[in-house]
Amino acid sequence: MLIFDDRTKIVFTGDSVTDAGRGRPVGEGLWDGVGSGFVRDIDTMLNVYYPEKLIHIANTGIGGNTSQNLLDRIKPDLLDLAPDYAVICIGFNDVWRQFDTPALVTHHILPEQFEKNICAIIEAVKDNVRKLIFLTPYYMEPLKEDAMRARMDEYGEIVKKCCEKYDVQCIDLQKEFDEYLKYRHSSFIMWDRVHPGHVGSMIIARAFLRETGFDRQLV
Amino acid sequence: MLIFDDRTKIVFTGDSVTDAGRGRPVGEGLWDGVGSGFVRDIDTMLNVYYPEKLIHIANTGIGGNTSQNLLDRIKPDLLDLAPDYAVICIGFNDVWRQFDTPALVTHHILPEQFEKNICAIIEAVKDNVRKLIFLTPYYMEPLKEDAMRARMDEYGEIVKKCCEKYDVQCIDLQKEFDEYLKYRHSSFIMWDRVHPGHVGSMIIARAFLRETGFDRQLV
Amino acid sequence: MLIFDDRTKIVFTGDSVTDAGRGRPVGEGLWDGVGSGFVRDIDTMLNVYYPEKLIHIANTGIGGNTSQNLLDRIKPDLLDLAPDYAVICIGFNDVWRQFDTPALVTHHILPEQFEKNICAIIEAVKDNVRKLIFLTPYYMEPLKEDAMRARMDEYGEIVKKCCEKYDVQCIDLQKEFDEYLKYRHSSFIMWDRVHPGHVGSMIIARAFLRETGFDRQLV
Amino acid sequence: MLIFDDRTKIVFTGDSVTDAGRGRPVGEGLWDGVGSGFVRDIDTMLNVYYPEKLIHIANTGIGGNTSQNLLDRIKPDLLDLAPDYAVICIGFNDVWRQFDTPALVTHHILPEQFEKNICAIIEAVKDNVRKLIFLTPYYMEPLKEDAMRARMDEYGEIVKKCCEKYDVQCIDLQKEFDEYLKYRHSSFIMWDRVHPGHVGSMIIARAFLRETGFDRQLV
Amino acid sequence: MLIFDDRTKIVFTGDSVTDAGRGRPVGEGLWDGVGSGFVRDIDTMLNVYYPEKLIHIANTGIGGNTSQNLLDRIKPDLLDLAPDYAVICIGFNDVWRQFDTPALVTHHILPEQFEKNICAIIEAVKDNVRKLIFLTPYYMEPLKEDAMRARMDEYGEIVKKCCEKYDVQCIDLQKEFDEYLKYRHSSFIMWDRVHPGHVGSMIIARAFLRETGFDRQLV
Amino acid sequence: MLIFDDRTKIVFTGDSVTDAGRGRPVGEGLWDGVGSGFVRDIDTMLNVYYPEKLIHIANTGIGGNTSQNLLDRIKPDLLDLAPDYAVICIGFNDVWRQFDTPALVTHHILPEQFEKNICAIIEAVKDNVRKLIFLTPYYMEPLKEDAMRARMDEYGEIVKKCCEKYDVQCIDLQKEFDEYLKYRHSSFIMWDRVHPGHVGSMIIARAFLRETGFDRQLV
Amino acid sequence: MLIFDDRTKIVFTGDSVTDAGRGRPVGEGLWDGVGSGFVRDIDTMLNVYYPEKLIHIANTGIGGNTSQNLLDRIKPDLLDLAPDYAVICIGFNDVWRQFDTPALVTHHILPEQFEKNICAIIEAVKDNVRKLIFLTPYYMEPLKEDAMRARMDEYGEIVKKCCEKYDVQCIDLQKEFDEYLKYRHSSFIMWDRVHPGHVGSMIIARAFLRETGFDRQLV
Amino acid sequence: MLIFDDRTKIVFTGDSVTDAGRGRPVGEGLWDGVGSGFVRDIDTMLNVYYPEKLIHIANTGIGGNTSQNLLDRIKPDLLDLAPDYAVICIGFNDVWRQFDTPALVTHHILPEQFEKNICAIIEAVKDNVRKLIFLTPYYMEPLKEDAMRARMDEYGEIVKKCCEKYDVQCIDLQKEFDEYLKYRHSSFIMWDRVHPGHVGSMIIARAFLRETGFDRQLV
């Protein structure tokens, strides 16, 4: 049974995977306010399949954000919006910058710092919402010996570990993509193996809905 | 069981409801080539839920088209693309122009002509594809005494009648929206009651998938 | 006899119906400063038919405004401009958001609050101008069982009630459109049933001029 | 009584005064297709005051045209559109170029040629329409000793003379503006004394409607 | 003999006639910094004919300015630039607004106020520069019975009177245009009779250079 | 005495030095039709100083043209315009490409070919106009040992030689710039030493007017 | 010793890796005419290190091209330009489309067809140039079990095989990138593993120069 | 041996030669953050040839800067970025403005002031970085009697003198260009003789790398 109650509010936040061109300052309401990514897919699916429930969805993801950036703005961009439910997907840029701009070492968020940031975010949010849900970062690369995939797995484990510690729900997106990549090459979803495009967004939305109690027939 | 076979091609055509900003000259392939409307939703859902099947989807809808415009271009924009399956959604503009530009009477496609056009399209396409599917035009207005709704119903009936005559599958989209509008006001979907937006596109996609044998669990 | 005296100033304010692309910060003067909606039609008609009178018209409507937004800016955008006459048309968005974004319940202005806002606006303005005129919000939908039409009627009644209470002139625009819609379908005026376009703007201007004493022959 | 019958078509043609940003190739239908000048005002007024009549209005004015340009395209842009009524307003550029680019003498249309062109236009159109109406060119300059005003008067007389010869209705716009300019300076209407802006367009529309039998009360 | 010494600075200020698209915040230096109007013509002529003299020219005209606007910014935009010579051309908008927006009476600068402003500007500038030069506003209309021409003459007289009172040089631009308009119609220079275009700018530059001692042969 | 008669036409053609953003297809008439370079300066000066003469000026320069390009289009772009006077300035690109793209040898117009082209142009034009005038190409570099300056001198000599052979007037622009560069560095006129900017354009115009009989006082 | 002689011409052609925003119709000459990719790096390096040699470089790559597209335009875009040397880099899109748009099977160029196309290109070009050089397509992915890498290797082998058969020089770019990817992750060069960016372009240029006899000291 | 250590940071600063469209506020990281000039070439070459070293390159050049501007922002734009190595190239605009805008004398930085500025910059930076390197300004003009070349030589000497005084490394770019200009005309590199374009940027990068110990084989 869908865990989101009627007339409640869910705020999604994170980086470009979440952002997806959302409106500013808060991504909500008319005209693609929630962006064109997985948040929109979730919004659309809830509206189509649960028309009797009114669920207010808002998006405050910001492209390029690391866990540090998110922590720094967690009050205005999450807590001040007074969500009933909070959904956070962060960590891509913490990892990616170590590979695409390896020389800018002062900009990198290393595992120790990442863990501190995730824990700090959880502590700031947890008791202020009815429920907090984390989505792990992922890399759409099925070969685990790839250096960035390996690093991303490490960061995904940190997210899972922190969530476990504070008893926060955590949805493993890497697992979803690993399953899908048995059928299609990563370049089918997106050349850069990070931004999810239409297919990847729906894969994320599917996982999210499944793990939050979606119980309608598709057709 | 999904009626579309692996490694086959479906061409969708019609007006702006189908078009939705598709690529030119043929809407297919990378970068929203199929547009951002219900065709994309169908494409996405098939790719997400049937990753083991490769289904080539193309879109040749053109915004503003009437049944007459479509008939005039049926060869280059449908037959020449050699689809295995053809899906057609037409009639909105045939009706709408009678209401938003009532004085331009020479531009109106009246019922008799509409019926001739639909039949001519069916005759041109039917034997050249494995399967032809029509989607009825609709008006997102639940009150049947509204003049445009009444007229649209008349045109929808013509589509259904022609399809029956030639034994062509016809999916009644008006019924889908009537059901949905029990819960939400039309302005939630789209202020103009015609263009489907994200929610309406998914409603169309849902009906289409259900009627073409979609058989996977959503979550 | 025209109630507006020579060398006086009328300020119109409200939402997008009033705004219509007016100049910023104050919509007045050269180059469509007053916008391209009903305010311009009124300005044009007064200039054409009463060339011997100089009437300064200014527009401070802001698209998307509710009665709450208008109340919050009533001092800088109306009182500080020192109008002799003030004309206010508000309430569309108070109603519309309840239908097009029903889940964003915290953004909705419900009837009780709407009534408070209208009264507060009247109290703030009434004694600071020679005359205050309200225009009721409307919905270009003739079928009264439409949910949004019904709600708009409720809000229109509140405007009328408040005006009566404070002895403020109130022009019923819904009645004007109801009359017109006996001849044409709403989609002839505007697909969204709210923004008035050229025909609807002239209908509003006609009602306004009639109720303010216009007494010239049209031709 | 309005001379235009229900379900008939009026085509307006001429230069930029008529054009006013109309749609291409034919200015008609949705979205300011008829432009934003006096043709739109006429269209709006007929729709507002005669909602029971459906009058198809089209505009084929082209900015910068002289009588020669118009004559050269009279078939595709007027006759081929099969109007019931034709309205022509031409001559501004025939005169203006003699003053703003006096050295480009080979581009000027002198009186003798202008008269030939007007007569040729009348002969081409007259028997192919139910009624042909000319609007004289004008110069928004009340001082008749101004050289361009004097020249424009000369061209206006030619239009009137030709119309009289062929028994075609001719509406004297110069007279309308002369009356208005007793109250306001030309720069109030438009700095260039030619393009009519909102006020001038309504003045033209008013004259046109009066001379074609408009018989409704304004308010 | 040219009154401007080598290695000195001239600042021109005023309204759009001076501005002509100059650079911001100060119009000087490379790439049309001085705008494309009469200031540029003066700059070009001095550079071409007096290459042995280095004269720093700057332009701080702002389109739409009245004498009031100029007075309000005389310190930052003229005095603070420490010119050796100051050239001011103002008054067009003081007059024009009385004719093109006659109803906005609170925006008009009437003669009494204009005279006060001009005197205040002179008093602020006079003793801070080596020489102050005024250019009278003008209207490119040879018929003195035109209402705006008459009003402009009145304002030109005020400029001359103030200059005389403080012993400031004043160049009568109206006289220059009156002479030129014996040969060409105002629409040859500019349709609006105010902005000088290429020919009018050179006429102003010619007057300015003549009155400041230009003594080179053209060829 | 000015050699150009009243009511005659001068066509200027060449490359970007002449073109300067002129209108297409023919650069003439309103709105900077003649471009913003030396042709405009000549046009402006003739209009300001000889208001009693009407001289039709047209410009068909095309940026990047070599003598070969010009020869290839001499009929449509010069002869077909039926000028009374023709003015040609060509050769910059014939030389420049040898220096800025030295490896593209097949694109270079070498001296022998250049001479053939100039002679062919003269032969095509000479007897079809009242007078033909050539302007030599130049390089704004005073040091004759510069390789490009030396090459440009060679091409300038070819132009002069051809003109002498056919008794065509030739104005030596290099001499004009050499004189000016005694006072200012080339970078004052233009960083690239070819395009003349405002100062260089007026220098060209001055030379042109002097050599064609300009006889008015500058001030 | 550099194999390219003085005053000769090299034409590079292929797909987006070659194209890189080159000028149209032929990419050569001023202003990044050769694009901003590896062709420009080669052009720059030859100009910097061999200033005594003039080598005309042109680029006719077209983004998105497959071997089939290139074969179809080999005459106008390579042979008609009369190169002394021809350099071809093709095959990326033949492979990529099989992975990013797997359902569009009719658009795929399979190995057999690819081999035919490469051979046909070689046969068309070989005897018309002094030297033909092929660059193999590559995938910036070091893990050979990646499906697209494996497929790209297959196509690279075909290129090498065809070159061997006709005795054409072939430079193995995959080997170059494999070497580099020992140090950096592919996302350092480009997220999509195909377009080379600045670092990848220089890697290609380095390989090209080494294999064509570059013999200068870098510093 | 390359003087730059692994995991260190180099900040380049100066004017447009350095800037070259870099990112703001600091030019570093993804997407041409370092600009498209010589800094990018250095970045690319170090990455290609020393993939085992991670060197963080940042660019804070600002187009149009003089030594005065640079001195004024040396703290935020250089010191606060905590570079290990600092590279400065300044002086072009100090000289250029004396030639292209000779009349704006108050904007010129004369030799005495330039020397003070360079020394002040050195004093501010020297002890805060591991190594400071200056690049002399240059003028791509081989003829030393050119006035601007002579002036630039004077400024280059000042840079060298200051560097010598403080024992700072100084790379003489003028010498590099002088050598190259023996083969090609300045217009091959850039028409304005200052901005280096692709070839000039690589010439600067080559000099820089040679003087900082680059020791790899090019091919």
Nearest CA-CA distance, residue B157 and chain C, Å: 22
Query: pLDDT (tens digit, 9 = 90+) per residue, A6-47?
Result: 999 999 999 999 999 999 999 999 989 999 999 999 999 999
Task: Supply the residues of B annotated as catalytic.
Answer: 16, 192, 195
Distance CA C168, CA C125 (A): 11
Distance CA E108, CA G203 (A): 69
Residues of E in contact with D199 (CB under 8 A): none
Residues of H in contact with G51 (CB under 8 A): 180, 183-184
Q: What confidence category does residue H214 fall into, taking pLDDT thresholds of 50, 70 and 90?
A: very high
Structure tokens at A165: 């510690």
- Contact map slice: H 52-81 vs A, CB within 8 A: 54-57
Query: pLDDT (tens digit, 9 = 90+) per residue, C63-117?
Result: 999 999 999 999 999 999 999 999 999 999 999 999 999 999 999 999 999 999 9
Q: What are phi and psi of C75, to 5 degrees?
A: -70, -60
Residues of H in contact with E54 (CB under 8 A): 102-103, 105
Q: Other C-beta atoms within 10 Å of D178: how many?
A: 16
Query: pLDDT (tens digit, 9 = 90+) per residue, G60-119?
Result: 999 999 999 999 999 999 999 999 999 999 999 999 999 999 999 999 999 999 999 999
Q: What confidence category does residue F131 fall into, taking pLDDT thresholds of 50, 70 and 90?
A: very high
Q: What confidence category does residue D187 fall into, taking pLDDT thresholds of 50, 70 and 90?
A: very high
Q: What confidence category does residue E219 fall into, taking pLDDT thresholds of 50, 70 and 90?
A: low
CB contact under 8 A, D191 and E194: yes
What ipTM is given for this predicted complex?
Answer: 0.96
Handedness of CA B71, B74, B77, B78 (dihedral sign): positive
* Per-residue pLDDT of chain B in tens (219 residues, 90 and over written 9): 899 999 999 999 999 999 999 999 999 999 899 999 999 999 999 999 999 999 999 999 999 999 999 999 999 999 999 999 999 999 999 999 999 999 999 999 999 999 999 999 999 999 999 999 999 999 999 999 999 999 999 999 999 999 999 999 999 999 999 999 999 999 999 999 999 999 999 999 999 999 999 999 877
Q: Are E and D neighbours with ≥3 CB pairs closer than 8 A?
A: yes
Contact of G141 with A179, CB cutoff 8 Å: no
Contact of D143 with E145, CB cutoff 8 Å: yes
- Cβ of residue B146 closer than 8 Å to a chain C Cβ: yes
Buried b (16+ CB within 10 A) or exposed e, B178-212: bebbeebbbbbbbbbbbbbbbbbbbbbbbbbbebb
* Per-residue pLDDT of chain G in tens (219 residues, 90 and over written 9): 899 999 999 999 999 999 999 999 999 999 899 999 999 999 999 999 999 999 999 999 999 999 999 999 999 999 999 999 999 999 999 999 999 999 999 999 999 999 999 999 999 999 999 999 999 999 999 999 999 999 999 999 999 999 999 999 999 999 999 999 999 999 999 999 999 999 999 999 999 999 999 999 877
Burial class (CB in 10 A: 0-12, 13-18, 19+), B116: middle
Half-sphere exposure of B186 (CA within 13 A, CB side): 24
SS3 A169: strand
Q: What are phi and psi of H64, to 5 degrees?
A: 90, -5
Contact of H56 with H8, CB cutoff 8 Å: yes
Distance CA H168, CA B66 (A): 77
Q: What confidence category does residue F61 fall into, taking pLDDT thresholds of 50, 70 and 90?
A: very high
pLDDT of residue H172: 98
Structure tokens at D169: 């209705």
CB contact under 8 A, E99 and D185: yes
Nearest CA-CA distance, residue H97 and chain G, Å: 26
Q: 3-state SS of chain E? A: CCCCCCCEEEEEEECHHHHCCCCCCCECCCCCCCCCCHHHHHHHHHHHHCCCCCEEEEECCCCCCCHHHHHHCHHHHCHHHCCCEEEEECCHHHHHHHHHCCCCHHHCCCHHHHHHHHHHHHHHHHHHCCEEEEECCCCCCCCCCCHHHHHHHHHHHHHHHHHHHHCCEEECHHHHHHHHCCCCCHHHHCCCCCCCHHHHHHHHHHHHHHHCCCCCCCC
- Cβ of residue E105 closer than 8 Å to a chain D Cβ: no
Question: Does residue H143 register a pLDDT over 70?
Answer: yes
Nearest CB neighbour to E219, from listed F51, F188, F206: F206
Q: Other C-beta atoms within 10 Å of E24: how many?
A: 8
CB contact under 8 A, F185 and H99: yes
Nearest CA-CA distance, residue A38 and chain G, Å: 20
Contact of F190 with F138, CB cutoff 8 Å: no
What pTM does this model have? Answer: 0.95
Query: pLDDT (tens digit, 9 = 90+) per residue, C29-76?
Result: 998 999 999 999 999 999 999 999 999 999 999 999 999 999 999 999
Structure tokens at G66: 């497959």
Distance CA D157, CA F103 (A): 67
Handedness of CA B192, B193, B194, B196 (dihedral sign): positive
pLDDT of residue C1: 87
Contact of A109 with A68, CB cutoff 8 Å: yes
Question: Does residue A218 register a pLDDT over 90?
Answer: no
Mean pLDDT for chain H?
97
Q: What are phi and psi of E76, to 5 degrees?
A: -65, -35
Structure tokens at C217: 């022959």
Residues 6+ apart with CB under 8 A from B167: none
pLDDT of residue G219: 73
DSSP states along B136-182: ----S---TTSHHHHHHHHHHHHHHHHHHHHT-EEE-HHHHHHHHTT
Structure tokens at B185: 């006001």
CA distances from D185 to C51, C161, D181 (A): 11, 44, 6
Mean pLDDT of F28-39: 96
Mean pLDDT for chain C?
97
Distance CA A110, CA A67 (A): 10
pLDDT of residue B217: 84
Contact of E144 with E150, CB cutoff 8 Å: yes
Secondary structure E strands in chain A: 8-14, 55-59, 85-89, 131-135, 169-171
* Helix H or strand E segment including A47: helix A38-49
Place of tokens 């005459």: G75
pLDDT of residue B218: 74
SS3 F169: strand
H-only helix segments in chain D: 16-19, 38-49, 67-72, 74-77, 92-100, 111-125, 147-166, 173-180, 186-189, 197-211
Nearest CA-CA distance, residue F219 and chain E, Å: 5
If you measure CA to CA, which chain A residue comes closest to B49? Answer: A203
Mean pLDDT of E125-144: 98
CB contact under 8 A, E188 and D101: yes
SS3 F135: strand
Nearest CB neighbour to F209, from listed E51, E183, E218: E218
Nearest CA-CA distance, residue E185 and chain D, Å: 6
Query: pLDDT (tens digit, 9 = 90+) per residue, C122-164?
Result: 999 999 999 999 999 999 999 999 999 999 999 999 999 999 9
If you measure CA to CA, which chain A residue comes closest to G194? Answer: A191
CB contact under 8 A, C148 and B191: no
CB contact under 8 A, C7 and E103: yes
Query: pLDDT (tens digit, 9 = 90+) per residue, D126-144?
Result: 999 999 999 999 999 999 9
* Helix H or strand E segment including A152: helix A147-166
Structure tokens at B99: 């209401």
Residue in C216, C219, C190, C217 with CA at minimum distance from that of residue C204: C190
Secondary structure E strands in C1-125: 8-14, 55-59, 85-89
Q: Is the peptide bond before D25 cis (omega within 30 degrees of 0)?
A: yes
Residues 6+ apart with CB under 8 A from F12: F18, F39, F42, F57, F58, F59, F60, F61, F87, F88, F89
Task: Give the CA angle between residues A29, A34, A40 to the nearest 5°.
Answer: 115
Place of tokens 């701080």: E60
pLDDT of residue D86: 98
Mean pLDDT for chain B?
97
Distance CA B55, CA F76 (A): 55
SS3 B115: helix
Mean pLDDT of E143-153: 98
CB contact under 8 A, B148 and C184: no
Task: Supply the residues of D annotated as catalytic.
Answer: 16, 192, 195
Residues of C in contact with D55 (CB under 8 A): none
Q: What are phi and psi of B154, to 5 degrees?
A: -60, -45
CA distances from G163 to G59, G66, G156 (A): 21, 18, 11
Residue in G120, G209, G138, G211 with CA at minimum distance from that of residue G175: G138
Q: Other C-beta atoms within 10 Å of C16: how many?
A: 18
If you measure CA to CA, which chain E residue comes closest to C53? Answer: E103
Distance CA F43, CA E159 (A): 33
CA distances from H98 to A96, D102, F155, H106, H149 (A): 48, 44, 32, 10, 12
Structure tokens at B71: 């008939």
Query: pLDDT (tens digit, 9 = 90+) per residue, D90-126?
Result: 999 999 999 999 999 999 999 999 999 999 999 999 9
CA G155 centroid distance within chain: 14
- Contact map slice: H 10-49 vs G, CB within 8 A: 40, 43-45, 47-48
CB contact under 8 A, G54 and F102: yes
